[in-house]
Amino acid sequence: MSGTMSPRQASAAVLVGLLAAVSLGLITILSVWKLKQFKYGLKINETGGAMFYGMLLGLIVRCLSFDRGVHVENMESVCSCGALNSTPYIFMVNISSHGHCYRQDLNQRCPPISTPHMDIFDLEVLFNLFLPPIIFHGAYTLNQKRFIGNLGSVLTFAFLGTIISCMTIGACVYGFTRLMVLLGRAADGDFSLTDCLLFGAIMSATDPVSVLGLLSELRVDLDLHTLLFGESVLNDAVAIVLTHAIYTYSQMGAGHTFDPPAFLHSVCYFLGVLAGSLLLGFIFTVITALLTKFTRLHESPLLETSVLFLLSWSSFLSAEASGLSGIVAMLFCGLSQARYTIHNLSSEGRTRTKQLFEVFNFLGEIFIFSYMGYVLLMFPDHVFKALFISGAFLSIFISRACNVYPLSFLLNLGRTNKIPSAYQHFMMFAGLRGAVALSLAVRDTSTEVRRTILTTTLLLVCFTIWVLGTAAEPMLRHLNIRVGVDAEENPEEDLPFERRPPTRTPPTLPAPVPSSPPSRLFHLLIWPHSYLHTVNGTRSGQLPGVMRPEGQTE
Amino acid sequence: MSGTMSPRQASAAVLVGLLAAVSLGLITILSVWKLKQFKYGLKINETGGAMFYGMLLGLIVRCLSFDRGVHVENMESVCSCGALNSTPYIFMVNISSHGHCYRQDLNQRCPPISTPHMDIFDLEVLFNLFLPPIIFHGAYTLNQKRFIGNLGSVLTFAFLGTIISCMTIGACVYGFTRLMVLLGRAADGDFSLTDCLLFGAIMSATDPVSVLGLLSELRVDLDLHTLLFGESVLNDAVAIVLTHAIYTYSQMGAGHTFDPPAFLHSVCYFLGVLAGSLLLGFIFTVITALLTKFTRLHESPLLETSVLFLLSWSSFLSAEASGLSGIVAMLFCGLSQARYTIHNLSSEGRTRTKQLFEVFNFLGEIFIFSYMGYVLLMFPDHVFKALFISGAFLSIFISRACNVYPLSFLLNLGRTNKIPSAYQHFMMFAGLRGAVALSLAVRDTSTEVRRTILTTTLLLVCFTIWVLGTAAEPMLRHLNIRVGVDAEENPEEDLPFERRPPTRTPPTLPAPVPSSPPSRLFHLLIWPHSYLHTVNGTRSGQLPGVMRPEGQTE
């Protein structure tokens, strides 16, 4: 009715957009679910399906609006306003009998002309709304015991691995850009090393959303799950901060030569943002934990859930607003909420929180990926550079290999439960890229180089999600890795590995004993539970004083 | 991080807005919950609290931005562009060395100059996002058995009552506007009768959100609950369509004299929109019911919940997009989903759906009301007309009395279980106004009359929510109406009234036998269940073939 009563086209556009999103979501859910029921059908998951339908919609909209492009040619008739010597705040234009007012403020100003005026703003809003619950859900439902057990390896892959990956992709792509210059496909100086490293950092973010989709679909062995998912979640944090550090470095004018002060500044920035975001996420957990411990909030599961949801989301928003990384803050908030706050919730509150985030995660995933597919086809200024794209495709495999195999070898020297080679092959294979890589690539599309990066990122995201994502199940079978493990209902989860009943495929990983026991400082960080969580023996049926990680209580 | 990497102020503004909303939500939840714990404290509910904090935020923002108003004075320096004879699509301005591009499209065009360029667009987005789950939740959790039992009365109050209310308020306010003309406070012709009737229609929408908040807080007797809530939900539908019909009538140039063709057109429009919206809501229910009946969607509660959520939301969006009333469609969709689809869901899916909508409802309510408080203080063009406001205050009481007492008297002639006078007094009292009235008032603020209406509506909403909402509990005690009834856990719900155990205050209403049994046609409409819901005896523990309304299965 809003459309007709007073013709607010803006509101109508939002309405149509929402309707399109909801319809895409429905079609994705139903068709992917139907596809999964065929035994020999395509084992595509929701992210891939959503992206496909998004692209289809983009194609349709593009075809339909093709002949409407004539509007833009009006530009020539615009006269110059010589009397203006500053940017006006309000801009009034008298055209025939209508008065129009163009206001330049935070909301209604177009980006500078050189930037393609596309739905990038919308995409950021979408990320602000849907990424936090997805990241939170991933961290919140991560099996805490396994995570702590594999923490050393996860951190190694996430930190060292991401830096290796960034360097390798950067070097490899830089090689290809030199080849482009040699072949005359690009001018010398078009692509600096910093640009290539930036691309490397962007492409190092393996996507927790699609990796999680893949893993929970196949329900692989819990240790492999923890390694892969823990890595993909934490390396986002590293990749985001790394991208920003490289960006800062290049902004400081150090494009082509090495500039030690700028480099030092970037490194400090990297560490500062990382530490700040971790701290912020933890602060919000402390607030939630204290609030749920010392008040009678647990009497109303609805309030518990709402407060937990709002406080966790606040950690993301505060971090973004204060120039830190929201995803890192949200991630650490999720991890620590699952460690401390969850024990203070009533059992209904616990289930509700999990289910709420599950729905948000599921729908958010679908919306984000369908929108990504849509943007891929609707973005008007794609720059396809065949050599750059081939270089990028090659580099992500090389970098993944340089990341997984050497690090696994090094880790296996210290681990009592080695990472078997089958796992290494699968980890090499499972580096899907997704929303975070895109959100990094989309943030600056002002130059041709940046638009080349965006186009290439979109293509790589599509490729990894569709090809690698669909091939994951046959790959697992081929590698003899057991699937169909249920993380929550697994009765033998607490048993040592040797005493577990045999499963479909023979287990290949020994008992999950922490390979390198966490240090004393780390202990203090990870187990200050007596201050933050009550054990609530009476409420959840546990014995008071016994600390039980989340995976066991559920 | 988005703020610093490439300075997207738009995204930053969204971020700050979200952070403010989340913080307001948290403060509201915690402070209202704390207030409720004091025995003799203020029994304010979340809607009132949210509105208060929203106003507080508005006050702070207003004070802080007071000295920034200087920007606007730039307006004089704008030169006229004589060469333009049509509205340009893209507007380029060269100012010093920067090029700026003002694009006029769906998203970036300011409203015409006469309209105050305020957050009205945001408000509509907010309504599109949060009103549907609130309305759906209300309809979905309505006790079906009682609703059917009291349907005749509810429909009478909703249809006849709203029309009476609209006429009375219109007449009363028209009287006051004549007084204003007599006293020289307004020019003759400022307020037409149609304007007054429009205000009457806007103010006839008693708010299901705040009424529900009040009722579930106090847990009043189920029949009173059904009467009040059913009325407030259905009369929204009537008030919305009525407002639109009057608007159409006034648009047809029939402002001051009675114009039979325009009137007939409006009446047809009223009936058409109402019927169309009902039908659309029902169509989406049929799709959901068939989908959940004939597929194995119930194997995954997550999918069930997502599909139900998306399909129900679609009914709202489709109705709005096709010029019908989204709220009416959503309402009927909720009612019919609870009647048919719910029986096809797995028991986990049922709980999940309810809990999901409960959270959405709770948070949406808080966001909407805090935003309403914020708008009240931030809207720059309030028009306070003391006489109009006093007339409006008086009229809502008169109209409510003209609505409740005569209709109750008429209904009691036919009902076997009479509506006792205590209930009538409370119904008279519980006509809270809220989000729907505001959403109607905000849709057109182009003239001074419309802005007077908006200001008055905001004041009335505040008054009814704070004063009437807070006084409801003492009022109930004074009227000896029993409170503390739990709709879901009430063991004696199925017993005839005489056999119920005595409660705190003596019951005053006889057994809930349907006073006027629904007609045969109505029966066909309400009970075609064999086609739409499986009874799933095996799944939910019921006997196959037995139709049980929702209230009993839970």
- Residue B66: pLDDT band with limits 50, 70, 90: low
- Residue A223: pLDDT band with limits 50, 70, 90: confident
In this structure, are strands B90-95 and A90-95 parallel, antiparallel, or unpaired?
unpaired
pLDDT averaged over chain B? 74
pLDDT tens figures, A460-469: 998 888 888 8
Which H, E and C letters describe B430-480, residue by residue?
CCCECHHHHHHHCCCCCCHHHHHHHHHHHHHHHHHHHHHHHHHHHHHHHCC
- Residue B485: pLDDT band with limits 50, 70, 90: low
Higher-pLDDT residue of A40 and B265 is: B265
- What b-and-e string marks burial along A340-353, b requiring 16 or more CB atoms within 10 Å of the CB? bbbbbbbebbbbbb
**Which residues are within 8 A (CB) of B518 and not within 5 positions of it... i.e. 6 or more apart?**
B148, B151, B152, B526
The alpha carbon of residue B375 is apart from the nearest alpha carbon of chain A, in Å, by 17
Q: Looking at this protein, which amino acid is placed at residue A253?
A: G
B1–A323: do the CB atoms touch at under 8 Å? yes
Q: Give residue for tokens 């599109």.
A: B128
Cross-chain CB nearest to A101 (options B84, B88, B113)? B113
Of B298, B356, B352, residue with least CA distance to B132: B356
B102–A102: do the CB atoms touch at under 8 Å? yes
- Residue A165: pLDDT band with limits 50, 70, 90: very high
Alpha-carbon gap, residue A497 to A494, rounded angstroms = 9
Question: What residue in A sits closest to B128 (Cα-Cα)?
Answer: A15
B72–A90: do the CB atoms touch at under 8 Å? yes
B461 at interface of A, judged by CB pairs closer than 8 A:
no
B247–A356: do the CB atoms touch at under 8 Å? no
Cross-chain CB nearest to B352 (options A89, A106, A355)? A355
B124–A244: do the CB atoms touch at under 8 Å? no
The pLDDT value given to residue A541: 34
In chain B, which residues have their Cβ closer than 8 Å to the Cβ of A96? 85-86
ipTM of the assembly? 0.73
In chain B, which residues have their Cβ closer than 8 Å to the Cβ of A121? 8, 10-11
The pLDDT value given to residue B492: 36
B99–A109: do the CB atoms touch at under 8 Å? no
B359–A83: do the CB atoms touch at under 8 Å? no
B82–A87: do the CB atoms touch at under 8 Å? no
Cross-chain CB nearest to B14 (options A8, A100, A128)? A128
The alpha carbon of residue B417 is apart from the nearest alpha carbon of chain A, in Å, by 35
Cβ under 8 Å to A: B residues 296-355: 296-297, 300, 302-303, 305-307, 309-311, 313-314, 317-321, 323-326, 352, 355
B183 at interface of A, judged by CB pairs closer than 8 A:
no
pLDDT tens figures, A529-539: 444 544 333 33
Q: What is the mean pLDDT of residues B166-181?
A: 91
Question: What residue in A sits closest to B315 (Cα-Cα)?
Answer: A19
A101–B112: do the CB atoms touch at under 8 Å? yes
The pLDDT value given to residue A39: 61
In chain A, which residues have their Cβ closer than 8 Å to the Cβ of B359? 302, 305-306, 309, 352, 356
Three-class secondary structure of residue B381 per DSSP: coil
pLDDT tens figures, B9-65: 566 777 788 888 888 888 888 888 877 777 665 667 778 888 888 888 888 888 887
pTM of the model: 0.74
| A94 φ/ψ angles, rounded to the nearest 5 degrees | -100, 115
Alpha-carbon gap, residue B457 to B442, rounded angstroms = 9
A70 at interface of B, judged by CB pairs closer than 8 A:
no
pLDDT tens figures, B523-550: 444 444 444 444 333 333 333 333 333 3
Determine which helix (DSSP H) or strand (DSSP E) holds B245, and give its type and residue range.
Answer: helix B222-251
Q: Check pLDDT > 70 for residue A1.
A: no
- The neighbouring-strand residues paired with A495 are none
Percentage of chain A lying above the pLDDT 70 cut: 72
A80 at interface of B, judged by CB pairs closer than 8 A:
yes
Chain A / chain B CB contacts < 8 angstroms: 309
- Residue A398: pLDDT band with limits 50, 70, 90: very high
A93 at interface of B, judged by CB pairs closer than 8 A:
yes
B244–A1: do the CB atoms touch at under 8 Å? yes
Q: Check pLDDT > 60 for residue B449.
A: yes
A108 at interface of B, judged by CB pairs closer than 8 A:
yes
Q: Give residue for tokens 């004299």.
A: B257
Q: How many CB atoms lie within 10 A of CB A2?
A: 22
Three-class secondary structure of residue A340 per DSSP: coil
Cβ(A445)–Cβ(A451) under 8 Å?
A: yes
Cβ(A312)–Cβ(A337) under 8 Å?
A: yes
The pLDDT value given to residue B10: 61
The pLDDT value given to residue A255: 52
Mutation target vs B (from A61, A74, A80, A107; most B CBs, 10 A cutoff) = A107
The alpha carbon of residue A5 is apart from the nearest alpha carbon of chain B, in Å, by 7
Question: What residue in A sits closest to B439 (Cα-Cα)?
Answer: A2
In chain B, which residues have their Cβ closer than 8 Å to the Cβ of A71? 89-90
- Of A121-130, A184-193, B66-75, B405-414, the range with the lowest mean pLDDT is B66-75
A16–B362: do the CB atoms touch at under 8 Å? no
A26–B88: do the CB atoms touch at under 8 Å? no
Q: Check pLDDT > 90 for residue A32.
A: no
The pLDDT value given to residue B41: 57
A5–B444: do the CB atoms touch at under 8 Å? yes
Q: DSSP assignment of A299-329, as one string? A: G-HHHHHHHHHHHHHHHHHHHHHTTS-HHHH
The pLDDT value given to residue B285: 93
Q: Where are the alpha helices (DSSP H) in B119-218?
A: 120-140, 144-149, 151-156, 162-182, 193-203, 208-218
Cross-chain CB nearest to B33 (options A82, A303, A446)? A303
The alpha carbon of residue B229 is apart from the nearest alpha carbon of chain A, in Å, by 21
A306–B359: do the CB atoms touch at under 8 Å? yes
The alpha carbon of residue A550 is apart from the nearest alpha carbon of chain B, in Å, by 21
In chain A, which residues have their Cβ closer than 8 Å to the Cβ of B93? 81, 84, 91
B310–A29: do the CB atoms touch at under 8 Å? yes
Of B197, B170, B218, residue with least CA distance to B228: B218
- Residue B401: pLDDT band with limits 50, 70, 90: very high
Q: What is the mean pLDDT of residues B255-279?
A: 81
In chain A, which residues have their Cβ closer than 8 Å to the Cβ of B438? none
Question: What residue in A sits closest to B273 (Cα-Cα)?
Answer: A1
Cross-chain CB nearest to A359 (options B129, B305, B321)? B305
